Amino acid sequence: MGLLSSLLWAFWYILPAYFANASPVLVGGGRPIDGGRTWRDGRRLFGDGKTWRGFIGGVSIGTLVGIVQYHITPSFYGDLRTAVLLAFLLSFGALLGDLIGSFFKRRANLPRGAPAIGLDQLGFLITALALAYPVKTLSSGQIIFLLVVSPFIHWGANYFAYKMGWKSVPW
């Protein structure tokens, strides 16, 4: 496999996580995951921006993206069961990573929507890759590629959502 092909497959692999991470801004809202509970520091666990509807909707959308990918390139996954499991783990991992990032942002007393360079752009990716590792993994070069390009994709997607009026801040 050539370098360009390898990098494109890495991008294809991570698409469920990207879609899962981006979709709560469109499908979220409603009851916060933390139910208003606070940590021992008196601050919310995650805040109002992390909702059950956004989490479940994001995981569902990411998983559906993986199912569509399977029907486009079945040889990449081997079988539908593997494709669904991989897409679910990547999607769940992305949103779990985002939730963990939100927890640490609250501990640092950062308000909802405040940027946390690195944490916002890579936390979702690292958690998604870790959860999906037992099912299908990437080469170290592909992982490095995703670690380099994901912040730019994240910033671009957030800026687009801001311009579309879906987000109140461009980060």
DSSP string, the chain: --HHHHHHHHHHHHHHHHHHHHTHHHH--SSBTTTT-B-TTSSBSS-TT-BHHHHHHHHHHHHHHHHHHHHH-HHHHSSHHHHHHHHHHHHHHHHHHHHHHHHHHHHTTPPTT---TTHHHHHHHHHHHHHHTTT----HHHHHHHHHHHHHHHHHHHHHHHHTTS-SS--
For CA atoms 133, 98, 96, 67, the dihedral sign is: negative
Whole-model pTM over 0.85: yes
Contact 58, 91 (CB under 8 A): yes
Instruction: Quote the crossing angle between the two packed helices 119-132 and 3-22, to the nearest 10°.
Output: 110
Q: What is the chain's pLDDT, residue by residue, as a tens digit (171 residues)?
A: 688 789 999 999 999 999 999 999 999 899 999 999 999 999 999 999 999 999 999 999 999 999 999 999 999 999 999 999 999 999 999 999 999 999 999 999 988 778 788 788 899 999 999 999 999 999 999 999 999 999 899 888 888 888 898 888 887
